[in-house]
Copies of this chain bind each other. A is one copy, B any other.
Amino acid sequence: LSPKYTVAGVQDGSFEAFHRGTSTTKQYTALCCATLKGEKIVAINIDRILVDGLDSTNVMLNNLGKTETDVIILGGVTFGGFNVVDVEYVYNRTGIPVIVYSGYYPDMEATKNALCKHFSDWKIRWRRYEILGEIHEFESGFPHTIFFEFFGCSKEFAEKILMEQSITCRIPEAVRVADIIAKEVSSIFQNQGEYSGESLG
Contact = CB atoms under 8 A, between A and B. Distances in A.
Size class of the contact patch on chain A: 20 to 34
Interface stretch (A75-83, A98-106, A125-133, A176-184): A176-184
Contacts of A43: 180
Contact of A177 (B38, B41, B176): B41
Interface of A is mostly: mixed
A167 interface: yes
Interface string A16-53: 00000000000000000000001111011111100000
Contacts of A40: 39, 167-168
Q: How many chain copies does the complex carry?
A: 2
Nearest to A193: B200
Contacts of A44: 180-181, 184
Contact of A188 (B46, B167, B192): B46
A181 B32 CA distance: 11
A16 B45 CA distance: 20
Nearest to A46: B184
